[in-house]
Each structure stands twice: as structure tokens, then as C-alpha cells.
Amino acid sequence: MSIRISFIYGDCNRYERRKLWADIIHCASSFRNEPWIILGDFNVTRFGVEHSVSNRVTKAMQEFNNMIRSAELEDLKGSGLHFTWSNLRVGGEAISKKLDRAMGNWQWIDKLGNSFAHYHSPGISDHSPVSIQLMRHLDKGKPFKFLNFWADHVDFIKTVKEEWDKVFSGSPLMVIHKKLKSLKGPLKRLSSRLDEKAADFRRKLHLLQDQLDACLGDEGLRVLEGHVRQQLMEVIVQEEAFFKQKARIQWLKQGDSNTAYFHTMVEVRQSKNHIVRIHNEVGAWVESESDIAKVGIEYFQNLFASSGNSSIPARWDGYFKSLSPV
């Protein structure tokens, strides 16, 4: 796989930086179909929290963010220092900013989403060096997540009731855990992959419309075409709701066929939603996924281990076994 890397230096003058922003947007269009990353000193911050003294959003910051949106770039997940530049002064004159960053296009996020930028200590410089770390991807199972569109399925209530009526042994909390675990499989079987289902309905609809074009007077075809069209619309709404939930985007309305955007935002969120390194109990950095998992397990084992009685009695007064059809 080939990738493209651009190293950036932004001029101190925001009017001069506009030429750089235009060049980046042009490159983004040219490199749209291949992984591309840009990193370096942009000489401007994106957000108020990236300035140690002022959180004011300036015109230069707005222009920078407009360029990033136009170029369809995303910040890579970062580790290390937050502020990457300092004026090397002390007291009330000291100022720190995040001027250095690494950003990738959507192809980079899709193919190298497990990468991250590490911002190192600056040493004798006023800027922090940045390096790109590529993590080895480990194929492992995904945690179960309830998908909201399941609740609209005609068999949802029936499926839940059948599993909830099953008898399990154990404490009340353990019984609930077992019932929820038992429910996972039947819920997943309520629907196939929505993208494949939508593609299948689109193929059927296009075929019927081609046939109608040659046989406009065929009322049977017209009724069938309307039926398939309605089915496709229902699947599209479910598909968009599914990706909207996974992307956790709340400010767009459903019904505008935003699934391509949602799918990209899912990839972006997942690329940032991982721990790249962590301190162990002696303060040393741990970076491999297996070692990070080991540190987490040991931490919680030590946290919950106690010589005394740490059990908390559960009160179940007022809780009733019931299932509402609403």
C-alpha cells in the first residue's frame, strides 16, 4: 500500500497562510483516493483550549478550520504533550499553544485508523517534535451494542419476551446478566446487514423500473414497484439511523441520505477511540495492546481486592418482573 505524506510549515502571517490553505485543499482533491497525512507547524490553533492564556476564536482560527473541513481532514488521535509550542518566557508573559499537529484524510482513517501522533518533549527547541506511530491491529471480538432500530421490528417485543421468560439460576443481578446475554443472539438475527439489504432492494427497484419503462400499462408491475419502493425507503431510514447511532452524530436530521457521511464518522471515531499507551503502577509507559490490557486488569484487581468485607447488599424492593408492550 502506498501512502502520501506532506510536511507543513505555516507562515506567521495569516494572509500568507491563505496560500498554504489553498494548496492543501488542492492536494486533498488530488489525493482523495489514497491515504494522505499532513503534519507539522501550522502556526495557528484550532480551538480555544489550545491556547494557555486566551480561549478566543480568531478569524485566523476560523479560516484554518474552514480549510480542514473543505479538505476533509481529521486530527489523528494524539498522545504526549498537549501544547506543542512555547514562547520560552516565565511568569505572566509565558504563553503555550498547540501549533503542531497531524491530520489525515478519510482514506488514511479507513486504512490506517489505528495510527496516532505522539508529541514529544521539545528539548532546547520552542516546538515539540511529532512522530506518527502505527499500531499493529489485533483482530478481536466487538462488544455487543443495542441498535435502536431493532425496537421498530415487528418481532421485537415477541423476541424479548421469549428470552425474558426463560428461567435462569443465580442471584437477581446474575439472572438479569444471563437473560441479557441470552437475548443478544436473537436480537442480532432480527435483521441482516442493512447496507446489503438496501443494495438488494435498490437492484430490485431498478429492474422493475426498467421493466415499467417498456410496459407502462402493466398495473401489476406498477403496484409491485410501489411496494418495493416503500420497502427500500424503510430500510434506508433504518440504515441511516444505524450509522447515525454508531457515529454519535446528533445534529443532522434523518431522511437526507447521510449514510456515507455517517460511515466515515464511524471510522473517525473508532480510530480515536483506543488507548495508545498507559502508565503502569511504577510510572513507566506501556504501549503494546496486550501489556495495556494487563495493566488495566491488574489495576482493577488491586482496586477491588480487599481484606475486609467489601460486599454491598442489593435491595430489590419495588422491582417487578414485567415487560411492557409500549
pLDDT tens profile 217-239 = 788 888 888 888 888 888 777 77
The 10 Å Cβ neighbour count of residue 28 is: 20
Are 271 and 286 in the same domain?
Answer: no
Is 91 a member of any domain? yes
Are 242 and 297 in the same domain?
Answer: no
Using alpha carbons, list the distances in angstroms from residue 288 to 120, 137, 295.
19, 11, 11
Is 155 a member of any domain? no
Domain enclosing residue 253, as ranges = 206-275
Domain end call among 134, 165, 193: 134
Say what percent of the chain tops pLDDT 70: 77
> Residues 320, 321, 325, 326: what is their CA dihedral angle, to the nearest 10 degrees?
40
Assign 3-state DSSP to the chain and report helix, strand, coil percentages, each to 5.
Answer: 45, 15, 40
Domain end call among 85, 117, 134: 134
Are 124 and 214 in the same domain?
Answer: no
Q: In the predicted model, what is the mean pLDDT of residues 70-88?
A: 92
* 211's grid cell: 421493466
Q: Which CATH number belongs to the domain containing residue 108 in this structure?
A: 3.60.10.10
Is 252 a member of any domain? yes
Are 212 and 293 in the same domain?
Answer: no
Count of domains observed in the chain:
3
Q: Is the pTM of this model over 0.75?
A: no
Q: What is the tens place of the pLDDT at every residue in 300-316?
A: 888 776 555 545 555 55
Under DSSP, is residue 117 helix (H, G, I), strand (E, B) or coil?
A: strand
Nearest to 258 by CA among 147, 250, 145: 250
